[in-house]
Amino acid sequence: MDVDNNVINYLSVRLRGFFAGWENISDIREIRLRTGRAMIVCMRGGERIVTTGGGERIATKDGMPVIVGKEDIKETLEYISNYSLYAYEEEIKKGFITMNGGNRVGLCGRVVYEAGSIKTIRNICTVNIRMAHQIRGCSDMIMDKLYESTGKDIYNTLIVSAPCCGKTTLLRDIVRNISDGFMGHAGMTVGIADERSEIAACNMGVPQNDVGMRTDVLDGCMKSQGMMMLIRSMSPGVVAVDEIGSDDDVQAIRYAVNCGCRIIATVHATSMEELYHKIPLKPLLGEKVFGRIILLGNREHIGSITGIYDGEGNII
């Protein structure tokens, strides 16, 4: 992704000018705009504040920060929405907009309710532009462990990690490899129930991330409902979902498995011990539904694989 061209140019004309003197601009991960406060970016090396001199400084040092105005927020949103903010109403009431390229824009402001449900967000005062982070090939080294001995089917696989340790990134790349076919293994039809639009990052229904040529996406649909809808309408060989944990998710996974589908899913946990103590998942783990469990950590780097286990909990 070319951060300079694809994201900076969505900022207001005034704000984008302050990035002229920046180095390592491609390391930007987030740009945070808050009305009346400093423009802050998050980078690989930590947080930085944009200064009026066109440079950058560490957040804890003195300087002259660029203060974001109401007009900056308004103009930035116009560029992000192509002057049609109303076209994104369904996403806005969830708190974000997905841009071309898969970049996500988080929003804060006054929440408006109607009949007990969120209708929209008005008076938007905070915009957080998060850069898409797809790493093609990050699953290549483990794919051979996910195929059954016949080579025709994938094990039901559960990816386990703490927040922000790369489980969605790994899930996305596994889906891409399964869908396209990997090292002599035929490609398979994959269905994604993308409740939070983070796997495929659809923009107007079109995946912005590469999730494979044989992949169908239900965007913004509850996981439990989406899994069943995909099975009934698209006949996938594999169903992928992110962050399972509810009783409804468990029932939908059981339904999918009973229909002959394979499951690739993620869940929050920091260890195998914590995973086995998650009450909603105990039936699936006890029945050894998942033939492979991948545990991620961040000891060496974010997304590093701590271990791969079989359905019995034995490391392989």
pLDDT surpassing 90 at residue 24: no
Distance of CA 166 to the CA centre of its chain: 9
pLDDT tens digits for range 232-271: 999 999 999 999 999 999 999 999 999 999 999 999 999 9
**Domain 140-310 architecture:** 3-Layer(aba) Sandwich (3.40)
Q: Can you tell me the distance from the alpha carbon of 170 to that of 42, in angstroms, rounded to the nearest whole number? A: 22
Residue ranges per structural domain of the chain? 3-130, 140-310
Which tokens in the block code for residue 243?
């962050």
In one-letter notation, the amino acid at residue 119 is K
pLDDT surpassing 50 at residue 122: yes
Helices vs. strands in the chain: H and E counts, helices first: 9, 16
| Average pLDDT of span 142-164 | 92
pLDDT tens digits for range 91-102: 999 999 988 778
Q: pTM of this prediction?
A: 0.81
Give pLDDT, residue 203: 86
**Domain 3-130 architecture:** 2-Layer Sandwich (3.30)
| Average pLDDT of span 196-206 | 90
Q: Can you tell me the distance from the alpha carbon of 308 to that of 159, in angstroms, rounded to the nearest whole number? A: 9
